[in-house]
Structure formats: C-alpha cells, structure tokens
Amino acid sequence: QEAPLSLEKSSIFDSDIAVEAGSGTYGDEFLSGSDQAELAIEGGDATSSHDQRTTTTDHSPWSYKPVCTDYLDELGDQLCVYTDTTFSNGRGISIFTTPQIAQEFASLLPFQDPSALSSRGINPGSGNVDNMPWYTAPIPGKGVGMLASRSLQRGDLITAYTPYLLAHMENVLSTPERERFLRVALDQLPAASRDVYLGLAKIYGEPSVVVQDVVKANAFEMQIGGQMHLAVFPEASRMNHACAPNAQYFLSPGLLTHFVHAVRPIARGEEVTISYAPPLRLHADRQAYLQSTFQFTCTCARCTHSGDRTLEDADKATEDIIALQWALSQWGSNSTASVKKAEMLVGLYRQEGLDAFLDDAYGHAALTYNAVGSARGAKKYAKLAAEAARLKYGPDAEAAMEWDRIMKDPMGHSSWRRRKTG
C-alpha cells in the first residue's frame, strides 16, 4: 500500500523516507557535505549566466532564452533554465531540467490551458484573501507556521498551489554550479515571487547557496517526464511538521500542484501540520531524522511526555501498530490475523492521531473482514480506505481505485473467505 514514488513528498532529498513512509524526504544529493567543502573553496557567481537571457518571445512558452549547462555525459543531455513569467496569472514558474523534459512540462495542462488552474481553485489569487482557509504567523520555537482561519473538517481542502521553482534531481553538478543556474531560475521569476521564495525557511543560512538552501528546507519531490524533480511550493512551505499531523498532502504532477487537506477537525486558529518523517518510526529515530535533516527537535504530542503518558507509552503504541500490521499481513495457515486485531489497529491509529495515514489501518481491516467472509465489514472499511487513500495519494490514485473495487464487489476480490475464521 505504498504510494507510487512520484507522489511522495521529498522534504528534500532522502529517498529512504519516501520509500518507507510515503512521507517527508529531504535527501542529501543537492547539498552534500563534500559539495559544501567545495563551495567554500570555489564560491559561486550567482548571476554570471544572467546576461544570456533575452526578452524575446521566440522560445514559447518560455519567457526567456533557456540558459544551459554544457552537455553532461552522466545525463546524456544538457540542463537548462526554463521560465514562464506569465504562468498562472503572472505567478510564474522556473524549471531547471533537460530540453526533452521541458517539452513534457510544456505539454501539461497548466501550460496548455491557462484557465486549468484557476477553474480548479488552484493558486487562489490575492483578491480572495478573506476566503482563504489559512494564514501564516510566527509560532514559538518553530519559525513561521500556517494556521486555520476557520474551523475545518476531515476532507476539507486547505491549500492547492503550483511551485515557483522545480529542479531536476541530478547529482552531477557541483553545488556552486547548480547554484548559478538555480539563481538564474529565481532571478527570472516575477519579482514578487522571487522575494517570497527568498523569505522562506533555510537550513544552512549560507547566502552563497541560498537558492539550494531554500530547496533543502522546503522542497517536495515530483516526478515529471520520468524524472524526479524537487519543487518548492511557497505557501505549503509554511506548514510545520508534527508526528501526528492534522493535514495530509499529495502532489498532482499533471496539474503541477501540491494539495493539502484536513484529516481531522481543525479549530480556527489551530496550527495546520503535515508530517515530514515516517510516522511508524520510534521517537528517537524520528527525532534523529528531523534533527539531521531539518535541524529541529520535534515537540509534538507524540514526542513529549504529557500527563500520565510517557514517551515509552507512545513508542509502545507504535510498536503495537507495527506488530498488528505484521500479523494482519500474514496469509498462511498459521496466520493469527483476526477482525479483533484489525479493530485494535484502527483504534490505535486514531488514538495516536495518525489520521493522515488511516488508509493503512482501514485497508488491513477491509481485507481482514473480507478474508472471514464479512462483506459488510469489508465494504465499510474499503470505503474508508478509499477516502483515506485519496487524501494521501490523490483522487485518481490506483490504491484508492482498488479499494473502490473491493467496496463494490468484495466477493470478487482474492481475499474473499481466504481465512476461514477470525
């Protein structure tokens, strides 16, 4: 039940997390330790390619002549900067990718049909500011955060925005070289967008690599043209992490859009959070990951001792979830799977605030009920699993459609009566 990789968030460059949790992954290719050492020696001229740009319209749909690297043997191609300053009513978009993939970008609906985004409520304009379900404000100990401007229910859309910057996830250029091109990409954006970008959170605070620093702290992975790209969505970038988040995101490569929905009721004024870390890792592991990748210590409910509940209790609940999921995945004759265990699993997910990941629990429950011949239980949980999968992977996700099929025809599924009792 893992998401296809193309729908994973990359909290910048850590594929390990993407595969394991369907969640935050900021990996290390862009700004590795060795690159940083190199950077200190070489420095970087952020604007040297700038004079190559022109304002002619010969490069449609791009606003400037693409600024390109040399041919890169490792990629079998060049990488170039492509900017459309008119994209989405002048919001703009800059892409650093190969010429071939740039063509694939240009063939996507948002480039083909200028109304495709606004007609879907994507990138709501600043004129709608009063209707926006969110606002940003400083949050003690967390920098800026996003808060709900009205009460929200599970399934409510919170944000839907396109990125300002997308960068091919290559590991070929040196950090200073990459910075030079990404700086062109940023400089070619409309000034308002460029300023917002530069105001986003950073990890290193090193001005000579500021464009990559913002990528490192804020990017999500999006697969376009068969290639993973890192994408910075400035609005969604303000969402802080929680290990039991009240919101879930997915990416739609076809619409170049990052969507966020509430996964449980959120009160007006409450902070909106997503998860950057795999939810089923133990506390120390999650903290180590968040510290090494983002340089913060999580103080969310699953990471703090509160009342009678200790961190050991929280880890015990996580271990129970893992053990139950393992038991429910066993299909041999000695399987101990039972509907009682499936109900316990659903209860634990809810108790732990893992509403963003309920598709896993509901999915196990649907199959477990189906396996003992309870079409009613299977339908109930397949419906819930489909809804939860759509919040996590998007409306057209294959996983959601599979749950739809089980909901409509439980007996037609291979799990039907596969276990005799339960």
Ligand X SMILES: C[S@@+](CC[C@H](N)C(=O)[O-])C[C@H]1O[C@@H](n2cnc3c(N)ncnc32)[C@H](O)[C@@H]1O
**Least distance to ligand X, CB of residue 393, Å:** 21
CB-CB neighbours of 297 under 10 Å: 10
Q: Which residue is nearest to ligand X (CB)?
A: 143
Cis peptide before 4 (omega within 30 of 0): no
**Least distance to ligand X, CB of residue 250, Å:** 17
Residues 56 and 65: their CA atoms lie apart, in Å, by 8
Nearer of residues 214 and 262 to ligand X, judged by Cβ: 214
**Least distance to ligand X, CB of residue 2, Å:** 23
Contacting residues toward ligand X, per CB under 6 A = 141-145, 200-201, 203, 217-218, 237-238, 240-241, 294, 296, 298, 300
Nearest to 400 by CA among 358, 371, 372: 358
**Least distance to ligand X, CB of residue 404, Å:** 33
Nearer of residues 203 and 262 to ligand X, judged by Cβ: 203
**Least distance to ligand X, CB of residue 242, Å:** 6
Residue bearing tokens 């703009």 = 92
Nearer of residues 238 and 261 to ligand X, judged by Cβ: 238
Nearer of residues 237 and 325 to ligand X, judged by Cβ: 237
CB-CB neighbours of 247 under 10 Å: 29
Residues 395 and 382: their CA atoms lie apart, in Å, by 15
**Least distance to ligand X, CB of residue 275, Å:** 10
Nearer of residues 83 and 248 to ligand X, judged by Cβ: 248
Local structure of 309: helix, strand or coil: strand
**Least distance to ligand X, CB of residue 306, Å:** 15
Q: What is the DSSP string of 16-81?
A: HHHHHHSS----SSTT-HHHHHHHHHH---TTTTGGG----STTTT-SSPPEE---BTTTTB--EE
Contact 252, 393 (CB under 8 A): no
Q: Where are the alpha helices (DSSP H) in 65-221?
A: 87-90, 99-106, 109-112, 175-187, 191-198, 210-218
420, amino acid identity? K
Using only the alpha carbons of the chain, give its radius of gyration: 23
319, amino acid identity? E
Length of the chain: 422
**Least distance to ligand X, CB of residue 126, Å:** 19
Nearer of residues 166 and 298 to ligand X, judged by Cβ: 298
**Least distance to ligand X, CB of residue 9, Å:** 10
Nearer of residues 139 and 282 to ligand X, judged by Cβ: 139
Nearer of residues 165 and 406 to ligand X, judged by Cβ: 165
Nearer of residues 180 and 202 to ligand X, judged by Cβ: 202
Residues 189 and 321: their CA atoms lie apart, in Å, by 46
C-alpha angle 264-377-266 in degrees, rounded to nearest 5: 5
